[in-house]
Chains A and B, each alone.
Chain A
Amino acid sequence: MAKQYETVIGLEVHVELATKTKIFCGCSTAFGGAPNTHTCPVCTGMPGSLPVLNKQVVEYAAAVGLATNCSITQYCKFDRKNYFYPDNPQNYQISQLYLPICRNGHVEIETENGKKQVRIHEIHMEEDAGKLIHDEWDDCSLVDFNRSGVPLIEIVSEPDMRSAEEVIAYLEKLRLIIQYLGASDCKLQEGSMRADVNLSVREVGSETFGTRTETKNLNSFKAIARAIENERERQIDLIEDGKAVIQETRRWDDAKEYSYAMRSKEDAQDYRYFPEPDLVPIVISDEWLDTIRNQQPEFRDEKMKRYKEEFDIPEYDISIITASKHMADLFEEAVALGSNPKKVSNWLMVETLRLMKDRSIEAEDLKFSAANLAKLIALTESKTINSSVAKEVFEVMFDENIDPDQYVEAKGLKTVNDEGALRSVIETILTENPQSVADYKAGKVKAIGFLTGQTMKAMKGKADPSEINRILMELLQ
């Protein structure tokens, strides 16, 4: 009988905060500038330069802490983490060790196995490093300090997760909270959210933890799931073979679906942490904390509850719409502009999801505005355009956020409301298709569809299908 193993997982999640400027200087955090253009003496570690804390970083970090039920350290400090690497211009990182801003929190996750709490050990603030670019051709390495000093928070969980499914649920939960706060866009692919997985296995029933490894370089939920499965199996194989799991840091290669050891505990560095003498302690007064607390938005769970009460839309739709702050905003804005909630929900659930899949974009990156969606819905409600034209217009709007009123006008897509004209077109169609008329009269109801299609074709799509149907029926009596 094979032994049963349990996987024990804790996460260290780094999140890049959405501040306009860096954590300790006034340089821009914008992505994609030419190398070393978003830099100054502070974020390039020039002698004599000094850090000055960006207050917004404290507010975002505390807001995330409050939203994850943490206690906020109202007297907190920064520490220096000392290590040499060229992407780290001072050769120390300003981080928090002794008095992190948030501690002892938790979030609730839900999986197929039900609800569960994942505890958060701490959240601390720190600065990001620059980027090394290795030029194989010239056999040299270059440093770009544009990312150096971009603010990060690191969210450290307790080892409370037991499966990849729980890990993903936890990450989704964090991502939603942080996106709802506007503290980060949390994109794993672009690195604004990064998760390192601490994993160990133990026999089911065991009280003590096994030796853990830390796996880095996980750039998607899929990679995380694959890496967890892979590492679980690797550790079980070692144990079954009577070998020991070594405490080490491993790097995941998603293309090869394999991880390799980067460094073991033995060569783990001594970071020689000590309080950062260039920064004064941060005192978060009760008033400041209250202000941050009062600015907390409505989070997803509350939103879902409210939608259920306010709008007559399916629970499934609610869960999809609120799974993205941006989509929920679109929904609420369009409704506020007078659109029917059911219609808005329909557009989001059907056409929007279809095109998102087709164009492979995330909900947070939707380009069209709520105002334009509301206009489009108004155009269909007033029957100014028919539903197939509406879908065409929506697709253009989805890609380019055009104004549907102007677009419909410019392209001449309005439904023709001249009954006489429509009636004469239908009369012609009936004359040209005697067989279909005969089929219909013989009881083949399907023939109506063909005749409607022919009429719509002749009208170049700009007819109201229900009108066509009404006139057809009348003439066929």
Chain B
Amino acid sequence: MDITQLTALELGKKIRQREISVREAVLASQKKISEQEDSLHCYITLNTEAALMQADQIQKKIDDKTLTSPLAGVPVAIKDNICTKDILTTCASKILSNFIPPYSAEAYQNLEKQGAILLGKTNMDEFAMGSTTETSAFGVTKNPRDPNRVPGGSSGGSCAAVAADECFYALGSDTGGSIRQPSSFCGVTGIKPTYGTVSRYGLVAYGSSLDQIGPIAKDVTDCAVILEAIASYDPKDSTSVKRDSYDFTAGLVNDVKGLKIGLPNDYFGDGLDSEVKASILAAAKTLEAQGAILEEFDLGLVDYAIPAYYTIASAEASSNLARFDGVKYGYRTDDAEELHHMYKKSRSEGFGPEVKRRIMLGSFVLSSGYYDAYYLKALRTKALIKQAFDNAFDKYDIILGPAAPTTAPKFGELVSDPIKMYLSDIYTISTNLAGLPGISIPCGNDHAGLPIGVQMLAKCFDEKTLIRAAYSFEQTKERR
């Protein structure tokens, strides 16, 4: 048996039943990593020795029954913009290439309490800005399904690591599709929870009003359990929401009878690859066959989502990234004549081109004289988009569509053309503007065998229905 092919929950069960030791699980993952990392490059930092020490400690706690969590002893990979105490956290940027946080993100701490074992920190687009993981300062990650293609982004390392069995599950972050789009490209399952569900404390901010941490795993069941583990009300995060229920696994029910599913016409028009379209529509039909009710509708405002998103996210990023200045931590230029020269040089040398582009864009839209025309207008657009979704969810339990317009592109295809790259986020970014929960699950492959993901959205705080629809769909498919 190849342990690494198990799901997180299957492994957790075997560990608790003493069929597999925690150390064996960690070693199996590490072996997979050492075999594949040279070609795939999912990780920026490996936690090799500490993970083995951690394995022995967790094993003891499992043995004496102080740890009974379904995730106890299961190795995890964490995106490198999520702070991990005493472990390098770079955001895939040269400017944080030496940053070792003295604290852990709340979401990661929640996992630690469940007995998770950190294998390493995964590659990503620099500061989560990108759709292919090509903007990383530490080199690209390859799509495990086709090494000539990108894994998607920005959580490309996390999704590729799950797809390549280099971990049992991973955490990613999603500001405009950064969990769902690479999940689609890599053929794994990922959830972007409702804004406020998972604490942002310790997540290095990109677009504060849009960022959410979420699970990436091999199936819906794993995702539900992981989400339950990482979600919490955190007084340290003012935007954290005290939810009525955190019982996401209650959604693991195979039943979509009477479930109303809306298919937005706007998500099936020009620009959508025909094979992707066919696969998504087939997924919808599958759910219909299980008793769901399908209806096409016009969501509206889709054309405005991308400009609104890039205005708001860039504006927030331009301010969030101001703290990286060479003064307190991170990269500082070797020679500078005076303070402002030091700022300019450190930042010019420390940030990559995509990050600089967004800092400039964000600084511009916040400038006096432009604020009303761009930033305020974008905020109004965001409110209208939220309204459009609210209206749709008056009628539908689930909105279903593609996670990305195509399957994984080849290296250089998107990153070389920023506008094209931004447009590829069209199906995912509205979700973040509206704060909604969304999931991407594999629904098929194109002619080249590249995975296609179907995206489902639910109204805010209704992950349970989202998980139910996704789980029911998954039950109709054979395990990979």
Contacts and interface: CB of A to CB of B under 8 A. Distances in A.
B238 A48 contact: no
A89 B327 CA distance: 9
Given A46-B329, A91-B325, A272-B366, A82 B201 contact: no
B393 interface: no
A48 B239 contact: no
Interface string B317-347: 0110011110111000000000110010000
Given A84-B343, A278-B208, A52 B102 contact: no
A91 B323 contact: yes
A50 B209 CA distance: 12
Contact of B325 (A52, A84, A280): A84
A272 B319 CA distance: 9
B322 A53 contact: no
Contacts of B325: 84, 86, 91
Interface string B233-246: 00111110000000
Given A272-B367, A277-B209, A280-B238, A48 B101 contact: yes
A279 interface: yes
Interface in A44-62: 44-53
A50 B201 contact: yes
Nearest to A92: B319
B316 interface: yes
A258 interface: no
B323 A47 contact: yes
B363 interface: yes
B368 A270 contact: yes
A272 B239 contact: no
A249 B419 CA distance: 43
Given A84-B325, A270-B368, A280-B239, A48 B319 contact: no
B297 interface: no
Given A82-B322, A90-B322, A270-B368, A46 B238 contact: no
B204 interface: yes
A143 interface: yes
A5 interface: no
Q: How large is the interface on A (under 10, 10 to 19, 20 to 34, 35 or more residues)?
A: 20 to 34
A274 interface: yes
A453 interface: no
Given A84-B322, A92-B319, A49 B201 contact: yes
Nearest to B330: A47
Contacts of B96: 47
A278 B239 contact: yes
B238 A80 contact: no
Contacts of A50: 200-201, 236-238
Interface string B298-323: 00000000000000000110110011
Interface string A81-116: 010101001111000000000000000000000000
B432 to A, nearest CB: 12
B328 A45 contact: yes
A274 B323 contact: no
Nearest to B196: A280
Nearest to B127: A47
A48 B316 contact: no
A41 B103 contact: yes
A279 B316 CA distance: 13
B238 A274 contact: no
Interface in A260-275: 270, 272-274
A274 B208 contact: no
Interface in A90-147: 90-92, 143
A409 to B, nearest CB: 54
Contacts of A45: 323, 328
B103 A279 contact: no
A63 to B, nearest CB: 23
A41 B203 CA distance: 13
B422 interface: no
Nearest to B207: A277
B375 interface: yes
Given A48-B202, A50-B238, A274-B371, A41 B102 contact: yes
B28 interface: no
Contact of A47 (B83, B315, B318): B83
Contacts of B200: 48, 50
B347 to A, nearest CB: 10
A52 B204 CA distance: 16
Interface string B198-229: 00111111011100000000000000000000
Interface in A173-228: none
A272 B363 contact: yes
A89 B328 contact: yes
A394 B363 CA distance: 64
B105 interface: yes
A80 B203 contact: no
Contact of A270 (B82, B101, B367): B367
Contact of A48 (B201, B339, B371): B201
Contacts of A52: 235-238
A53 B239 CA distance: 12
A118 B367 CA distance: 33
A42 to B, nearest CB: 9
Given A41-B102, A272-B368, A277 B208 contact: yes
Contacts of A46: 101-103, 328-329
A89 B368 contact: no
A89 B323 contact: yes
Contact of B205 (A41, A48, A279): A48
Interface string B63-94: 00000000000000000001100000101000
A51 B323 CA distance: 14
A426 B87 CA distance: 89
A277 B379 CA distance: 12
Nearest to A47: B204
A398 to B, nearest CB: 46
Given A49-B103, A50-B238, 20 more contacts: A41-B102, A41-B103, A46-B103, A47-B91, A47-B101, A47-B204, A47-B323, A48-B83, A48-B202, A51-B238, A52-B238, A82-B322, A84-B343, A86-B325, A89-B323, A143-B328, A272-B366, A272-B368, A277-B239, A278-B238
19 contacts: A47-B99, A47-B204, A47-B324, A48-B204, A49-B202, A50-B237, A51-B238, A52-B237, A84-B325, A143-B328, A272-B319, A272-B368, A274-B319, A274-B375, A277-B207, A277-B209, A278-B205, A278-B238, A279-B239
List the 7 shortest-distance A-B pairs measured between CB atoms, nearest first: A91-B322, A272-B366, A277-B208, A277-B209, A48-B202, A47-B204, A45-B323
Interface of A: 41, 44-53, 80, 82, 84, 86, 89-92, 143, 270, 272-274, 277-280
